[in-house]
Amino acid sequence: MSLNRRIGQEARRLDPVRTLATVAVSPFYGFGWIVGFLARLLWIIVSWLCSAIKIGIMDGLKRQ
């Protein structure tokens, strides 16, 4: 079967309502992905800061 025929068959199988729903929902998916990425980044920053504070306190106590 030729590529042109396969593409035509796939195009006829598309559901317009489902396609429009996918396009309508995609900004929410993108927004959720960005929020999740920023939350992970914030978690990494906070965990590094807490670890640095802990190590600094422990080193400070050893020197006394």
When pLDDT is averaged across residues 24-50 and rounded to a whole number, the result is: 98
> For residue 15, what is the DSSP state?
-
Could you tell me which of 45, 14, 10 has the C-alpha nearest to residue 2?
Answer: 10
Q: Retrieve residue 28's tokens.
A: 């929410």
When pLDDT is averaged across residues 14-40 and rounded to a whole number, the result is: 96
Q: In angstroms, what CA-CA distances link 59 with 6, 45, 53?
A: 68, 21, 10
Residue 20 has pLDDT above 90, yes or no: yes
* Helix extents (H) in 1-64: 3-13, 16-63
pTM assigned to the model? 0.64
